[in-house]
Amino acid sequence: MLYLLSELSGTLTPLNVFRYITFRTGGALFTAGFFVFWFGPWIISLLRIRQGKGQPIREDGPASHLTKRGTPTMGGLMILAGAIVSVLLWANPRNHYVWVTLAVTLGFGAIGFYDDYLKVTKQSHKGFSGKFRLLLEFAIAGAACLLISIYSPVSLQNQLAFPVFKDALLNLGWFWVPFAAFVIVGAGNAVNITDGLDGLAIVPVMIACGTFGIIAYLVGNSFTAGYLQVNYVRDTGELAVVCGAVIGAGLGFLWFNAPPAQIFMGDTGSLALGGLLGSIAVAAKHEIVLAIVGGLFVLEILSVIIQVASFKLTGKRVFRMAPIHHHFEQKGWKEPQVVIRFWIIAVILALVGLATLKLR
């Protein structure tokens, strides 16, 4: 909206500053943060009244978590509301990638919301059918990837780019769409699995968003893409504004989610934010780098897969409890120790991911 206003204002006015992606990214960050700070208490009060007992707590989980009974969930509504309002205000509405990313975010958020709703109303950890949920996720992600493929430069359509190697491209052909959809669905569910402790998921998400905001901006600029010898993907720079909005909304949410949490993110937020990260990585042709930057999320979901596979095949568990953050809790780590140490890991992985831009 503000971008269009600057275009209509002519070329010699102060409003021209709205054309700069960096300025609008900062504006999106502060707008989303202010929105969540301002409306957060009201949203939390409303959800607490509506939900009554709040999110059900696992009886077989760490004993310290039982004190969290009654905490409302669906805090992702705060994040999504702040981020979307901010994106609509600051991003270029003519940019295809922005709309595709928002569609994935809202679609995944709707799936997560329905799952949270069932859990709260039934006071059970079981939402709706896992297979049907994955089917819906793949349908949304597949449609988004098909559009991304159409909007991508012809030379990069259906191509998988490799970090470090500047000219390495693998033509996946028709298989690229299901592969890219798998990246988005995997990212959504990996962040969802990570969201198990106060503040554990939202900070790594913000770190990953900050990283991919930089990547999207550099990849979407022909000069910087040429200098860094990365694949130039026109118009992806606008996704930096989306990342800025998520960081701002995430900061606002963290204010209320910091231990002891006043509200949980729920599947509403974690699934949506993971899908957003996946769609940005796919659009910017940095799918593999997402596995590095989001390595913490990968570790979390792998711990669950390994635990389930090991128990079914051998009857033995590899971890004391999965996901892996609960494993460390069972080993005696306090919740703040687990959270802060995992944040440190997320920062290190983000720096490694950024380093791949220069190592060519």
Asked if residue 130 is part of any domain, the answer here is yes
Quick one: average pLDDT of 89-102? 95
Quick one: average pLDDT of 133-149? 96
Instruction: Locate all alpha helices (DSSP H) within the chain, ordered by sequence.
Output: 2-8, 21-51, 76-90, 96-122, 130-151, 176-194, 202-219, 222-228, 239-257, 266-283, 287-293, 295-314, 324-330, 335-355
Amino acid in position 11: T
Exposed, middle or buried, 262 (CB in 10 Å: 0-12/13-18/19+)?
middle
Beta bridge partner(s), residue 169: 161
Tally Cβ neighbours within 10 Å of residue 95: 20
Asked if residue 62 is part of any domain, the answer here is no
The per-residue pLDDT for range 165-189, each reduced to its tens digit, is: 877 889 999 999 999 999 999 999 9
Asked if residue 345 is part of any domain, the answer here is yes
Asked if residue 59 is part of any domain, the answer here is no
From residue 120, how far is each of 56, 131, 267, 276, 293 by CA, in Å?
Answer: 7, 20, 12, 25, 32
Q: pLDDT at residue 77 above 80? A: yes
Count of structural domains within the chain: 1
CA distance 192 to 206: 14
Quick one: average pLDDT of 135-163? 94
221: containing domain? 2-53+69-357
Q: pLDDT at residue 12 above 50? A: no
Asked if residue 61 is part of any domain, the answer here is no
Quick one: average pLDDT of 300-314? 93
Asked if residue 336 is part of any domain, the answer here is yes
Amino acid in position 61: G
92 in a labelled binding site: no
When mean pLDDT is compared across 61-65, 304-308, 342-346, the lowest value belongs to 61-65
Asked if residue 64 is part of any domain, the answer here is no
Q: pLDDT at residue 211 above 50? A: yes
Mean of the per-residue pLDDT values of the chain: 89
**What is the predicted pLDDT for the residue at 118?**
87
192 in a labelled binding site: yes
**What is the predicted pLDDT for the residue at 66?**
55
The per-residue pLDDT for range 247-283, each reduced to its tens digit, is: 999 999 999 998 888 999 999 999 999 999 999 999 9
Asked if residue 311 is part of any domain, the answer here is yes
